[in-house]
């Protein structure tokens, strides 16, 4: 058994890759900006310093544990160095803490407070660089950047996009999009993973809260909302009083009514409808020698990625719109009459775990007569902020149900929010259609979990179906390259841009729990299990919606006009 000593306590070395991991295991939360267990080691922030006896002071993130090491995490010299480092960062940081989106959720603020940095001995030197608000999804304020490089690494290593990089040196060093352009002009796919790892407010989701409040306060408007699957298992973390991953949908609906939303519906209804279209489209491709593999299309980060890097693949992407966009179509078509509101007075708001959904909603192809189907997209975090701004104690509220009929969904629609969920829901539909028999069990466990690529071959009515699920765009790129090179062959592939799927989207609460993705996904799978109806095709209200508004069946002319889309290269 190999051990070392941390602050005179003997600790076992059990496969930790660096001293920082090991010290954290020993119950000491050593400060750092630039260390993320899922990213490469950069060693830039010089906060995770430790004194290794006989060797001196070094960064714990980039030092491997060795048996017999004697480590001190807190000496007078280290304490002084950390304070100086934090003071230097604060001196060049735009300190507008009370009005910053990351206030109370900022590593710089948190570390400064914990270290007891009460005054900054260095002169404030802000360069007053322009704030980049060009993106529909994100706002980049270089004046708050601490140069940890977390966004640069997540964007290149996890997403294989590389929209951000370092420029210049020394005191002029900055993180910028390529050629110092605006974020909207580079390959950025709006996934928001950079905002998730940014320790400060240098990259944050763009807020649409003010527009939504204006709509709510306008007496002529009827404001309705759709809530995405993953929101319900993330929101509770931000509001407090709930377990991690707990499905808070029913109390959330009550809170949203208090906020002033007239009706609160469920994107999972539209997810069920997406499956009707997408699985029908898949079976059609399968039976009529269509283009395969078919890739899912519901993740706008992935779609933009494919449009940017793999235009030759666009015929492979399902033409079915995403649930958010399908909901927008249904809302515009059916709600004015149902709610007795003039079409121009209906305001459609989406609550999404995702920053890329803000980009998707403003695409001209998802609008009619100049009016977007979805007017505003709020992230889970923005909804939490609205709720908190009104002082609503959500965990003390009575639960309520989503409004009908667009609030009814099957378990299949709910699991969309976790990686593999769309595939599983589609298989529940497709396998039963092909085999002609009710299937049991209906779970496809092969699609669940956090493996970078999940694959399975299913025997359906004598046919072999090869499916794959990837999440994180670097994993998607790898799969696509293999398919293009003929090294891998599939019939149907699900891609989600964010590792873990929407539960870990760019608009979800930032979590430092190492199992947060699994816990949130478990909240969705538990909900699915508890549902009486689990297969999308058993959603009676979707059938009714087809009958009344979309040509009676999936794939009809009406459905093609309003529930499908096209891609650009
Ligand atoms: Fe997702 Fe969706 S599941 S992309 O992850 O398909 O954002 O939650 O709303 O549209 O339903 C996000 C989550 C959605 C859509 C759905 C899909
Ligand atoms: Fe990169 Fe995603 Fe951030 Fe864009 S939103 S810069 S693609 S990590």
How many whole angstroms from its chain centre is CA 75?
40
For ligand 2, what atom is nearest to the CA of residue 164? 6
Residue 441: predicted pLDDT: 81
Distance 160 CA to ligand 2 centre (A): 10
- Closest ligand 1 atom to residue 274 Cα is 6
Closest ligand (CA of 230): 1
| Cα 376 to ligand 2 centre (Å) | 21
ipTM exceeding the 0.95 mark: no
Q: Which part of the chain has CATH 3.40.950.10?
A: 283-319+411-504+527-563
CA–CA dist 96, 103 (Å, integer): 9
Q: What is the mean pLDDT of each run of 10 residues along the chain (569 residues)?
A: 95 94 94 88 87 96 96 96 94 93 94 93 88 97 92 96 87 82 93 97 98 98 98 97 97 98 97 94 93 97 97 96 97 96 97 98 95 98 98 97 96 94 91 85 90 92 91 98 96 97 98 95 95 90 93 92 88
Cβ contact 247:232 at 8 Å: yes
- In angstroms, the CA 511 to CA 513 distance is 5
**For the domain bounded by 283-319+411-504+527-563, which CATH number is listed?**
3.40.950.10
Report residue 129 as tokens. 């660089």
Q: Kindly report the protein residue whose alpha carbon is nearest to atom 5 of ligand 1.
A: 502
CATH of 3-115, one of 3.40.1500.10, 1.10.1060.10, 3.10.20.740, 3.40.50.10190: 3.10.20.740
106's CB contacts (< 8 A; 6+ apart) are 97, 100, 199, 200, 201
| Smallest-distance ligand from the CA of 191 | 2
244 CA to centre of ligand 1 in angstroms: 20
pLDDT score for 569: 62
Q: How far is the CA of 198 from the centre of ligand 2 (A)?
A: 11
Closest CA to 222 of 53, 338, 365: 338
- Strands, sheet with 222-227, edge to edge from the N-terminal-most edge strand: 263-266, 222-227, 346-352, 376-379
C-alpha 247 – ligand 2 centre gap (Å): 28
Q: Residue 436 has which token pair?
A: 């002609």
Q: What is the atom index within ligand 1 of the atom nearest the CA of 507?
A: 7
pLDDT tens for 451-495 read 999 999 998 878 899 999 999 999 999 999 999 999 999 999 999
The pLDDT value given to residue 171: 76
- Ligand 2, atom nearest to 187 Cα: 7
CATH 3.10.20.740 in the chain, residue ranges: 3-115
| Closest approach atom of ligand 2 to CA 154 | 8
**Delimiting residues of CATH 3.30.70.20 domain(s) in the chain:** 138-205
Residues in contact with ligand 2 (CB, 6 Å cut-off): 138, 154-155, 159, 161, 163-164, 188-194
Pocket test for ligand 2, best of 189, 192, 359, 379 (most atoms within 8 A of CB): 189
Run of H or E including 241: none
In the numeric block, the tokens 């549902």 are attached to 531
Closest to 447 measured CA to CA, from 314, 296, 316 = 296
Q: What is the residue with the minimal CA distance to atom 2 of ligand 2?
A: 191
Nearest CA to ligand 2 atom 4: 188
Nearest to 497 by CA among 232, 230, 212: 230
User: How far, in Å, is the centroid of ligand 2 from the Cα of 46?
Assistant: 25
> Three-state secondary structure along 543-561?
HHHHHHHCCCCCCCHHHHH
Assess if CATH 3.30.70.20 describes domain 138-205: yes
- Which ligand has its closest atom nearest to the C-alpha of 274? 1
Spatial neighbors of 463 by CB under 8 A, at least 6 apart, are: 286, 434
Mutate to test the pocket of ligand 2, among 153, 160, 164, 202 (most ligand atoms within 8 A of CB): 164
Sheet containing 453-460: order of strands: 294-295, 492-496, 463-471, 453-460
505 lines ligand 1 (CB under 6 A): yes
For a substitution probing ligand 2, which of 155, 308, 506 has the most ligand atoms within 8 Å of its CB? 155
Atom 6 of ligand 1, nearest CA residue:
298
Q: Which residue do the tokens 């060093």 mark?
A: 173
Q: Is residue 354 in contact with ligand 1, taking CB distance under 6 Å?
A: yes
Sign of the alpha-carbon dihedral angle for 281, 283, 289, 292: positive
**Which residue of 137, 158, 188, 505 sits with most ligand 2 atoms within 8 Å of its CB, as the best mutation to test the pocket?**
188
Q: Could you tell me the distance, in angstroms and rounded to a whole number, from the CA of residue 237 to the centre of ligand 1?
A: 19
Distance in Å, CA 59 to ligand 2 centroid: 28
Nearest to 202 by CA among 142, 133, 113, 245: 142
Residue nearest to atom 9 of ligand 1 (CA): 228
């Amino acid at each position: 058994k190999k051990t070392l000593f941390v602050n005179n306590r003997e600790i076992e070395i059990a496969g930790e890759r660096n001293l920082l991991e090991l010290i954290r295991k020993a119950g000491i939360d050593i400060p750092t900006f630039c260390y993320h267990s899922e990213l490469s080691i950069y060693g830039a922030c010089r906060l995770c310093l430790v004194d290794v006896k006989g060797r001196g002071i070094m960064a714990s993130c980039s030092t491997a544990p060795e048996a017999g090491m004697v480590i001190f995490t807190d000496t007078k010299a280290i304490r002084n160095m950390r304070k100086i480092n934090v003071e230097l960062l604060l001196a060049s940081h735009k300190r507008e803490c009370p009005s910053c989106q990351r206030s109370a959720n900022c590593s710089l603020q948190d570390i400064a407070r914990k270290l007891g940095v009460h005054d900054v001995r260095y002169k404030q030197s802000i360069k007053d660089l322009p704030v980049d608000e060009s993106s529909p999804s994100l706002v980049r304020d270089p004046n708050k950047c601490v140069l940890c490089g977390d966004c640069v690494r997540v964007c290149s290593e996890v997403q294989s996009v590389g929209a951000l990089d370092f420029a210049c040196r020394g005191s002029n060093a900055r993180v910028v999009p390529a050629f110092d352009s605006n974020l909207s002009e580079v390959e950025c796919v709006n996934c928001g993973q950079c905002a998730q790892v940014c320790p400060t407010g240098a990259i944050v989701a763009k807020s649409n809260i003010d527009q939504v409040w204006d709509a709510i306060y306008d007496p002529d408007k009827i404001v309705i909302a759709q809530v995405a699957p993953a929101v319900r298992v993330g929101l509770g973390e931000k509001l407090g009083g709930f377990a991690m991953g707990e499905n808070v949908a029913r109390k959330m609906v009550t809170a949203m009514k208090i906020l002033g939303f007239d009706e609160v519906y469920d994107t999972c209804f539209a997810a069920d409808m997406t499956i009707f279209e997408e699985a029908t489209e898949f079976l059609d491709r399968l039976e009529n020698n269509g283009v395969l593999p078919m890739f899912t299309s519901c993740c706008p980060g992935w779609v933009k990625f494919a449009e940017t890097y793999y235009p030759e693949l666009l015929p492979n992407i399902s033409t079915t719109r995403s649930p958010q966009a399908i909901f927008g179509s249904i809302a515009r078509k059916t709600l004015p009459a149902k709610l007795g509101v003039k079409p121009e007075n209906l305001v459609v708001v989406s609550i999404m775990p995702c920053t890329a959904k803000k980009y998707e909603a403003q695409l001209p192809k998802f609008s009619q007569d100049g009016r977007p189907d979805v007017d505003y997209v709020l992230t889970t975090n923005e909804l939490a902020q609205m709720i908190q701004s009104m002082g609503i104690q959500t965990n003390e509220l009575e639960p309520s149900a989503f409004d009908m009929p667009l609030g009814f969904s099957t378990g299949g629609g709910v699991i969309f929010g976790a990686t593999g969920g769309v595939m599983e829901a589609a298989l529940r539909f497709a396998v039963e259609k092909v085999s002609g028999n009710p299937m049991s069990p209906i779970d496809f466990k092969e699609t669940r979990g956090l493996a970078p690529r999940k694959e399975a071959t299913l025997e359906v009515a004598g046919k072999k179906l090869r499916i794959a699920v990837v999440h994180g765009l670097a994993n998607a790129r790898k799969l696509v390259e293999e398919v293009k090179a003929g090294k891998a062959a599939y019939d149907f592939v699900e891609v989600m841009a964010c590792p873990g799927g929407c539960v870990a989207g760019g608009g979800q609460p930032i979590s430092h729990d190492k199992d947060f993705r699994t816990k949130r996904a478990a909240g969705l799978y538990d909900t699915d299990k508890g549902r009486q109806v689990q297969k999308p095709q058993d959603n009676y209200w979707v059938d009714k919606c087809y009958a009344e508004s979309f040509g009676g069946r999936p794939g009809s002319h009406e459905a093609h006009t309003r529930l499908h889309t096209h891609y650009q290269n």
